[in-house]
Chains A and B, each alone.
Chain A
Amino acid sequence: MSRPGFVLEVDDRTPPLVVHEGEGFRLESFPRGTRVVYPPEPLPSIRDVDGAIRRALLEPANSEPLPALLRAGMRLTIAFDDISIPLPPMAKPDIRQRILEQVLTMAAEAGVDDVEIISANALHRRLTAAELKDIVGERVFRSFFPQGALYNHDAEDAANMLHIGETDRGEVVEINRRAAESDLLVYVNVNLVAMDGGHKSVPIGLAGYRSLRHHHNSHTMVHSRSFMDHTKSAMHHSAWRMGRLLADHLKIFTIETTLDNNVFPSPYEFLQKREWEWGVRDQASMLAARRGLALAPKGMRHRLFQGIRAPYGLTGVNAGETEAVHELTVARVHQQQLVEVRGQSDVLVLGVPYVGPYNVNSTMNPILATCMGLGYFFNSYRGQPVVRRGGAVILYHPVEPDFHQLHHPSYVDFYEEVLSTSTDPAVIEAKFEEQYATDPWYVHLYRTSHAYHGVHPFYMWYWAAHAMDHVGDVVWVGADRRAVERMGFRAASTLQDALEMVSGTVGRSPSITYLRNPPHLIADVR
């Protein structure tokens, strides 16, 4: 049985609660009266995954069955979500592998020869061969990768980008040429959170800077309330306009999947449980984990966390026309993640965990930590933000100024050059974005190495634009003081200190809400 999410009110019976902070966690005693939002327990998952996929492909929403769309001699392109979802990565076999295998089986039966498979990584880093293999599985990898028919999307390969047109708002729609010139584009998605999927898949995943700049900017992000709710998100509105334009030019068959929120495998299951229900075994695991993490050298701790593979269950798979499919998908995601919260509070507390979309097998640098906390977690609401306008956000993360040299070269410069000039997203955008986006070295590294695009750190900063615009105070608990100050925030060593620091903004006895995330949740603030 899956219990719904709920809002706990901390009282004198409440044990200390888990707060994630990077590669570690702490147990925090919250002030009495603090509201703690718990996500629903994992929904019942589908047992016959392959059967469910087959059914979805044969009985799609608002579309002909997939086999009817396949014929010999056609150009078929399959694109899939890259390594940025799900988080943490999925224990094998990846759901994308299982879908790809069935789609390819049907394509083989129909006699389709011209098939290419593209990782829709937009301006994300290229996936390594091993990472591609983890996602698509050994069979698909061996059949396509050596021939060069399984590859990463390259948004800076001008010859292989096709200008489709402009929307009625003048937004340039430009996507991968191979995908655009196919007879059928199949998109395989994993819908981890409500912002994923729909028209965010093809028009964004297979696009480049010229197209992305229309919705990935500080203005749009401030007006996406929130981007977890595509009906209220300026970013999604733009993507939807682009998607509709694309749908007129190109036959797209979308396959979307939803997962439960089983994110902590053994021996970390206690992190998945509600604290007051911890048994002796859970308490012992927690104590052991705490000591082990304290003793482990940094590198080992990093490997330990990055090695976590989540035992997700599949809660839904839908296929067919993008918008019809996405409606079903979002409903399922909401079922797994929505928690009703009554009213806003003065202070929002967030624990930023070790992994975000952009540091899988990598390092969570200060900019990504900010994006994760003030971008994703802050925006994980429907209706209105959890914290009132002018309130305070308290985040937990070490925020060490460590950057992955291979993956995040432009982040270092962004951190050192841009953030020391200004932290205002709009100012940064006007002054630096173009330079970084067109810097030849970043372009080179994006195309040939495994680096995020030069402009990517800007997008991360824009994600946080709404939060920075909305709240009065941001304090990081347990963070590197200099790193946090460079980003224009403040650091505290304990929650008490942090509350003391924000008391100027929210008073001595503020209302506090803590989102106990992960697993992911969306606060439905009424």
Chain B
Amino acid sequence: MLALEMFRSIPRYAASRAVGNRMPGLLVGPMAPVRLVTRDEPTMRRPGWARVRPLLSGICGSDLGAVTGSTSLYFSALVSMPFVPGHEVVGELVDDCDDLPAGTRVVVDPVLACATRGLDPCTSCRSGRTNLCDHVTVGHLSPGLQTGFCHDTGGGWGERLTAHRSQLHAVPDGLDDERAVLVEPLACAVQLARRAQVPAGGSVLVSGAGAVGLFAVLALRELTDAGRITVIAKHGHQADLARAFGATDVAAPDEAMRAVRRTTRAMRVAPRDLPPLAQRRVGGSEMLLGGVDVGVDAVGSTSSLDTVLRSTRAGGRVVLSGMPSGADLSPAWFRELEVAGTYASTGDAFDVAMRLAAEAPLDGVVGGRYPLHRWREALDHAHSAGRLGTVKVCFDVRSRA
């Protein structure tokens, strides 16, 4: 079986951390901790498990984070190397799986919770919040928070993976692969919309208009009573899509704070007489008194999180959707912000996402399909997707072209 494998290489990890964001060329080149290998098919000889042949498999921001070493080492204990990445998967069942016959098209909920590990449900799983499962490192399986981070299950970037019945959701016939592959990220967006707890008519700022941000806008518009949704988008096509998905206003990053101030009629304060360096580096930049009810960081960068924290009203809610890096948390303290994380999805999120995938204007969202052996191109494309006018890049796993 052909698969892309991520392996542990301390030098490569260090190198990618050092130059990660500046020279992505290096990372998709010789320095990537990824290799294309032929390895044994993953097998799980336990009830409820079946093999899946991935059809399309998306490249997610967190995958790129792992490749470029920008992911926090916090996660290193939660994965088992080497693993085959890929957790946004639409595939076909190779074996029958309980009620699902072989050949059924399925999407995979990647979370590897108690049910998949043959354990009694933990507190979280018992309460139905499987995405918060406490047992992601124990049981039948090697540690791995999700399919695509676990050595035993395989992942979407290979020709086979194994999945547990609890992870599988059959795809209706009417939904084509390119939409089906978006179900997992959409489910995350559904989770985000729920976690955002937007008050009726409340204003929302979504910082970032990559796949996460755009789907967040879509879900917020569909599932909540949000009033104005302001989106910070860097690139022109992102702005168009954000509007199509339901954003009221779109602003460029350097315009964001002013746009929010305008739409929410907040007061803006900026320290005067500080040298520019201080303004950039030590938090001496502008902020709002007043602002949006809910701020969503869909990027994870320091500047994005900073913007969100500084433009959410006192007592408002900040949702961390991107994998966050450091930011100045003073506003969270001073403005009594509720900082909420949102990770993966749970409950009926996949069913809702399936509906969204069928109904939303998602044509053309998958803007690049690559066979596995062209993984360098694929990762490079994904890395600069925004600039290249693409939202989602996928591996077309069956393709040999």
Asked if the two chains touch in their complex, CB atoms less than 8 Å apart, one says yes
Q: A residues near B, CB below 8 A? A: 405, 409, 412-413, 416-417, 435, 439-441, 444
B239-272 interface (Cβ within 8 A of A):
249, 251-252, 255, 258-259, 261-262, 265-268, 270
Q: Is the interface of B mostly helix, strand, loop or mixed?
A: mixed
Q: How far is the CA of A416 from the CA of B254 in the complex (A)?
A: 10
- B267, A441: Cβ atoms under 8 Å? yes
- A417, B259: Cβ atoms under 8 Å? yes
- B258, A441: Cβ atoms under 8 Å? no
For chain B, which range describes its interface: under 10, 10 to 19, 20 to 34, or 35 or more residues?
10 to 19
Q: Which of B252, B258, B259, B267 has the most CB of A within 10 A?
A: B258
Which chain A residues border B251 with CB–CB below 8 Å? 416-417
* Smallest beta-carbon distance B190→chain A, Å: 30
- B259, A441: Cβ atoms under 8 Å? no
Using CB atoms, name the residue of chain B closest to A432: B262
**Which of A413, A416, A440 is the one whose CB lies under 8 Å from B267?**
A440
Using CB atoms, name the residue of chain A closest to B266: A441
Q: How far is the CA of A435 from the CA of B265 in the complex (A)?
A: 9
Which chain B residues border A435 with CB–CB below 8 Å? 262, 265
Using CB atoms, name the residue of chain A closest to B288: A441
**Which of A412, A417, A441 is the one whose CB lies under 8 Å from B265?**
A441
User: Given A412-B258, A441-B261, are A417 and B249 neighbors across the interface (CB < 8 Å)?
Assistant: yes
- Show 6 A/B contacts (Cβ-Cβ < 8 Å), sorted by A: A413-B261, A416-B251, A416-B255, A439-B262, A439-B265, A440-B265
Which chain A residues border B267 with CB–CB below 8 Å? 440-441, 444
- A413, B259: Cβ atoms under 8 Å? yes
Using CB atoms, name the residue of chain B closest to A441: B267
Q: How far is the CA of A505 from the CA of B331 in the complex (A)?
A: 55
Q: How far is the CA of A416 from the CA of B262 in the complex (A)?
A: 10
Which chain A residues border B252 with CB–CB below 8 Å? 416
Which chain A residues border B265 with CB–CB below 8 Å? 435, 439-441
Q: How far is the CA of A444 from the CA of B265 in the complex (A)?
A: 11
Q: How far is the CA of A27 from the CA of B258 in the complex (A)?
A: 39
Which chain A residues border B262 with CB–CB below 8 Å? 413, 417, 435, 439
- B266, A413: Cβ atoms under 8 Å? no
Q: How far is the CA of A435 from the CA of B252 in the complex (A)?
A: 21
- A416, B268: Cβ atoms under 8 Å? no
Q: How far is the CA of A409 from the CA of B255 in the complex (A)?
A: 12
Q: How far is the CA of A417 from the CA of B252 in the complex (A)?
A: 10
Which chain B residues border A409 with CB–CB below 8 Å? 268
Which chain A residues border B270 with CB–CB below 8 Å? 405
Q: How far is the CA of A30 from the CA of B150 in the complex (A)?
A: 73
Which chain B residues border A405 with CB–CB below 8 Å? 270
Q: How far is the CA of A440 from the CA of B259 in the complex (A)?
A: 15
Q: How far is the CA of A172 from the CA of B352 in the complex (A)?
A: 55
Which chain A residues border B266 with CB–CB below 8 Å? 441
Using CB atoms, name the residue of chain A closest to B254: A416
- A416, B258: Cβ atoms under 8 Å? yes
- A413, B258: Cβ atoms under 8 Å? yes
Q: Which of A417, A439, A440 has the most CB of B within 10 A?
A: A417
Q: How far is the CA of A439 from the CA of B262 in the complex (A)?
A: 8
- Other than A413-B261, A416-B258, A435-B262, give 6 A-B pairs with Cβ distance below 8 A: A417-B249, A417-B251, A417-B258, A435-B265, A439-B262, A441-B266
- B261, A416: Cβ atoms under 8 Å? no
* Smallest beta-carbon distance A394→chain B, Å: 28
Which chain B residues border A413 with CB–CB below 8 Å? 258-259, 261-262
Which chain B residues border A412 with CB–CB below 8 Å? 255, 258
Which chain B residues border A417 with CB–CB below 8 Å? 249, 251, 258-259, 262
Which chain B residues border A416 with CB–CB below 8 Å? 251-252, 255, 258-259
